[in-house]
Each structure stands twice: as structure tokens, then as C-alpha cells.
Amino acid sequence: MAIIRMVVDKKGVVKHANRWQMGYRIRDVEVAPDGALWMLEDSASGGVYRLTPIEPPPLKKLGGFFGALRDLWGKMSKWFV
């Protein structure tokens, strides 16, 4: 019982992107205008859940070689979207 996100490329090929184990059966998932996910649980007691992304923790300031490496990776990662 999981939510699986699929991605369709420009050629129409579907690829698996993410999988989140939920622990219960989900009947429906909708995306709200603010980007939150609303999920409806399929059980006798049921449940409606709203999932929102969390803000990642701020990066620690790194100096020297590792700071330069992190900055370089930040610039390079834009090339690999």
C-alpha cells in the first residue's frame, strides 16, 4: 500500500519517480492549488489527510574546499534536471 509518482517524458514514456509507503489503502489523491496532496483512506473508519512539503533545513556554512565543492555542485545540478 503505497503512493507511487510516475513521470511521463516528451516521448510519452512513463517512468517510476517516487514511492511512499502509506501503511493503508488510499482510495483517491488530489492536488490542491497550493500544491498540497489530499488523500482519502479506504477503510471502514476512513480518513482524509492533507500532505504538505516541509522546508528543508538550512545548509550549514562551509568554507574552504567543501564549501567550494558544494557551490560548484549547486551550479552543476541545474544542468541535470
Percent of the chain with pLDDT over 90: 1
User: Which residue range is the domain that position 46 belongs to?
Assistant: 1-53
pLDDT per position as a tens digit, 32-64: 888 888 888 888 888 888 888 777 666 666 667
Residue 59 lies in a domain: no
Confidence (pTM): 0.50
Residue 76 lies in a domain: no
- Alpha helices in the chain, H assignment, sequence order: 64-76
Split into its structural domains, the chain has a count of 1
Nearest to 58 by CA among 75, 70, 72: 70
What's the pLDDT at 81?
39
Nearest to 2 by CA among 54, 31, 39, 53: 39
Q: Which residues does 63 contact at the CB level (< 8 Å), separation at least 6?
A: none
Q: Which grid cell sits at 49?
A: 489527510
